[in-house]
Amino acid sequence: MQKKINGCVLFYMKRTTNIGALGLVIALGAAVAFSQTANPAKLKVKGVGLDSTYGQVIKALGKPVKDGKPKEEGCIGGHEKDVEYNGLSFYFMDGDSKNGKTYEVKAFTVTSGNWIVSGVKVGDTATTVRAKFGRKYEVQKDDVTGQIMWNYDMGDTAGPGTTTVHFKGGKVVSINTGYMVC
């Protein structure tokens, strides 16, 4: 009778070990799969993205081709300005910054393959975008330009806002990301 009890205990322990190992393999697989997709609210170009300050952008990317003059912004108060590099533009606002005077990135657009946005660049295929940004997007078609657009929603916690990847001929032609501020 003693051997039967130990046999059951031993069998139970082996079964638990096998199930635990299977659970660990599944968890690791899921971690790898989810770690490969970028959060649409956290996309970066050379380390800067949404919420980066004007100073951080200039430090990371250097002097812009065009540094727009601040103008009054009527949505949340404060000021707005545009900054452009070849194939990359930023939209800044200062009204909702901590001190109300620090310009922060609220949107940016990439139109050149010289800039990599969290692993994706102009000229990449849909397969690359799906691998880097994930599969949770809404598809739209622009009948005028013929472009296909994938819209990645940031959700209310991270945004609200959207990252939109534009395709033409199966290749990325632009990447836009930004908060909905009004």
- State whether 52 and 3 are in the same domain: no
- Whether 132 and 152 map to the same domain: the answer is yes
pLDDT digits (tens, 9 = 90+) for 117-173: 999 999 999 999 999 999 999 999 999 988 999 999 998 777 789 999 999 999 999
Q: What is the residue-averaged pLDDT of the chain? A: 83
* Residue 1 shares a structural domain with residue 86: no
Same domain, yes or no: 8 and 63: no
pLDDT at 108 over 90: yes
The pLDDT score that the predictor gives to residue 7 is 44
**3-class SS of residue 122:** coil
User: Which pLDDT value is given to residue 34?
Assistant: 46
Neighbours of 85 (CB within 10 A): 20
Whether residues 24 and 85 share a domain: the answer is no
Is 19 found in the same domain as 93? no
Decide if pLDDT at 19 tops 90.
no
Instruction: Return the pLDDT at 37.
Output: 83
- Domain span at residue 131? 44-179
pLDDT, residue 89, reads: 98
Q: List, in sequence order, every residue forming a beta bridge with 79; answer none if it has no partner.
A: 72
Number of folded domains in the chain?
2
Q: Are residues 89 and 171 in the same domain?
A: yes
Cα dihedral value 158, 163, 109, 129, nearest 10: 120
Predicted confidence at residue 114, as pLDDT, reads 97
Whether 11 and 57 map to the same domain: the answer is no
Which of 71, 118, 117, 112 shows the shortest CA–CA distance to 95? Answer: 71
Query: In this predicted structure, what is the pLDDT of residue 128?
Result: 97
Q: Are residues 153 and 126 in the same domain?
A: yes
Q: Would you state the pLDDT for residue 123? A: 98
> Do 54 and 136 sit in the same domain of this protein?
yes
20 — pLDDT class (breaks 50, 70, 90): very low
Query: Are 3 and 48 members of one domain?
Result: no
Residue 6: which pLDDT band, with cuts at 50, 70 and 90? very low
What are 40-97's pLDDT values in tens digits?
889 999 999 999 999 999 999 999 999 999 999 888 889 999 999 999 999 999 988 8
Do 16 and 79 fall within a single domain? no
